[in-house]
């Protein structure tokens, strides 16, 4: 894995915020008996024996619809489904004491409200200070026997960008991890983001359908590919919440979970996120550049020095009880303050040709 392929917001080379993918295949008629881990290693790019063993032990490898043991030998016409994270092994997670905003916790899972500026898990350039460093310390205080072998990635099944704030769910058991990973893959998890974007959006609501993948030249950026010739399928539904003339407050609902999806999709339709330094939102995009307006915008940039994006709600089915859970995290101070400033600004100058 090379540094140029690292996502600077997450420290990984994945282009998926949903860390688990589904691999489906049928064994050929002439296949000789072979241990399933060896068979899958030859057919899934990036798979390692360690990752496959973790997936099998967690019940995330199904053969003909049933869980199997690690010594299972495949047979001709076996139908295999693998739910697993096949990205390269991560750096060891070193427990670190830190303050965590735990919104909910029980024996199966925990929901955390992540602050902006915190990377979710260790990777190149981000070995300490990540959310998982804090979670590992917190969990090991409860149970000193917990290790990454016992709880892979400490139950992480999805992530959000370093400079995006909001809600994340982590599993505390293999069963919970398997159940939640499948919900994310099946797109049944309810996720609503709030974003402040540049421009007065033409429609009150809409859907952006365009593959998201790495930029073909600038590999640290992601790009929208509406023809589907690169990247992976990505669908974002949006709805206008409030208009401020030069910027718009929108609600975004993810149908898929690609890295930087909302940021890329909003840029693609001409409305980059306010203060997003990766996708052109950290300069004046709409409005005449004159001294007082520029000063106002610069003040807003100073207050919210990251993309104005917050993972506000998260809903899913509890893996043990079957109950539908729903959580909401209020807007953090930086975004809320900037919204108030734009609201006040638009009310003052609204009748002056905005």
**Residue among 314, 313, 315, 306 nearest 333 (CA):** 306
Residues contacting residue 353 through CB under 8 Å, at least 6 positions apart: none
Give the side-chain half-sphere CA count within 13 A for 25.
Answer: 17
* Helix and strand numbers, DSSP H then E, in the chain: 7, 17
Q: Which residues are catalytic?
A: 161
Contacts of 147 (CB under 8 A, 6+ apart): none
Torsion-angle region of 195 (φ positive above 0: left; ψ -120 to 50: alpha; else: beta):
beta
CA angle 295, 297, 303 (to 5 degrees): 105
Strand intervals (E) in 215-328: 222-225, 235-243, 247-254, 309-317, 324-328
């Amino acid at each position: 894995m090379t540094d140029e392929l690292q996502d600077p917001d997450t420290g990984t080379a994945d282009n998926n915020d949903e860390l688990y993918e589904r691999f489906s295949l049928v064994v050929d008629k002439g296949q000789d008996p072979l241990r399933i881990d060896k068979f899958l290693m030859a057919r899934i790019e990036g798979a390692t024996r360690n990752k496959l063993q973790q997936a099998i032990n967690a019940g995330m490898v199904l053969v003909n619809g049933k869980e199997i043991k690690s010594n299972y030998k495949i047979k001709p016409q076996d139908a295999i489904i693998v739910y697993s994270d096949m990205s390269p092994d991560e750096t060891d997670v070193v427990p670190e004491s830190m303050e965590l905003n735990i919104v909910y916790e029980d024996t199966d899972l925990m929901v955390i409200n992540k602050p902006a500026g915190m990377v979710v898990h260790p990777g190149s350039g981000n070995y300490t200070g990540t959310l998982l460093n804090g979670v590992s310390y917190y969990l090991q205080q409860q149970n000193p026997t917990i290790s990454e072998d016992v709880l892979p990635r400490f139950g992480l099944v999805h992530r959000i960008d370093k400079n995006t704030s909001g809600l994340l769910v982590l599993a505390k058991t293999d069963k919970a991890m398997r159940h939640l990973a499948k919900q994310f893959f099946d797109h049944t998890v309810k996720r609503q983001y709030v974003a402040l974007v540049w421009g007065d959006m033409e429609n009150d609501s809409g859907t952006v359908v365009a593959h998201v993948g790495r930029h073909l030249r600038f590999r640290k950026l992601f790009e929208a590919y509406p023809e589907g010739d690169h990247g992976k399928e990505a669908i974002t539904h949006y709805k206008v919440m409030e208009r401020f003339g030069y910027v718009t407050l929108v609600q975004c609902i993810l149908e898929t979970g690609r890295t930087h999806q909302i940021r890329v999709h909003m840029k693609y339709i001409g409305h980059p996120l306010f203060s997003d330094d990766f996708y052109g939102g950290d300069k004046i995009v709409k409005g005449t550049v004159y001294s007082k307006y520029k000063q106002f915008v610069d003040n807003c940039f100073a207050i919210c020095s990251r993309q104005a994006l917050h993972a506000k709600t998260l809903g899913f089915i509890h893996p043990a009880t079957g109950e539908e859970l729903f959580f909401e995290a209020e807007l953090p101070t930086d975004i809320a303050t900037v919204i108030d400033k734009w609201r006040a600004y638009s009310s003052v100058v609204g009748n002056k040709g905005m």
